[in-house]
Amino acid sequence: MAAFPFAPPVLPLAADAPHTVCLALVGDLDHEVGDEVLHQVLHALRGGEDVRDLRLDCRGLGTVDSAGLAVLLQIHRHTSGDGTGFHLDTMGPRLERLLRITGTYEYLTTPQQAPPSARSAPSAGSAGSAGSAEEDPGTLGSGA
């Protein structure tokens, strides 16, 4: 499941919906590549036109350490701040276990749907898509 040493940690994927950025996370997400992954994801979000959803395909993800988890949390915080939806797709059992142990599973996997005018002003209500849920971006799940 590990990627080649020279493989980029983030690969673009074809989006299945308009205003959606789809990226594959490949290899280990750890202290060695965490900053690069964060940079690449944020760059992809800025490069898209009127991005409303971010989908991260995790099927090629290997080991995720605490620095990698911090990257996922930073990406989520960024998308929450600008009203962009955040989705972790095709999560393997190791990543799911890490998120559950750290109390971040609900926080990172509860559907976060972008409101219609996400770029201009995030709003409490979201319309148009199934699976939307209320989310308090300032509160991390404590796992208690």
pTM of the prediction?
0.75
DSSP string, 19-87: TEEEEEE-EEESTTTHHHHHHHHHHHHHHSSS--EEEEE-TTEEEE-HHHHHHHHHHHHHHHHHT-EEE
Q: Which pLDDT belongs to residue 49?
A: 79
- Tokens 């208690």 — which residue? 144
CA–chain centroid gap for 44, Å, is 12
- H or E stretch at 90: none
Read off the pLDDT of residues 56-94 as tens digits, 9 standing for 90 and up.
Answer: 999 999 999 999 999 999 999 999 999 999 999 999 999
**Using one digit for the tens of pLDDT, what is the confidence trace for 25-44?**
999 999 999 999 999 999 99
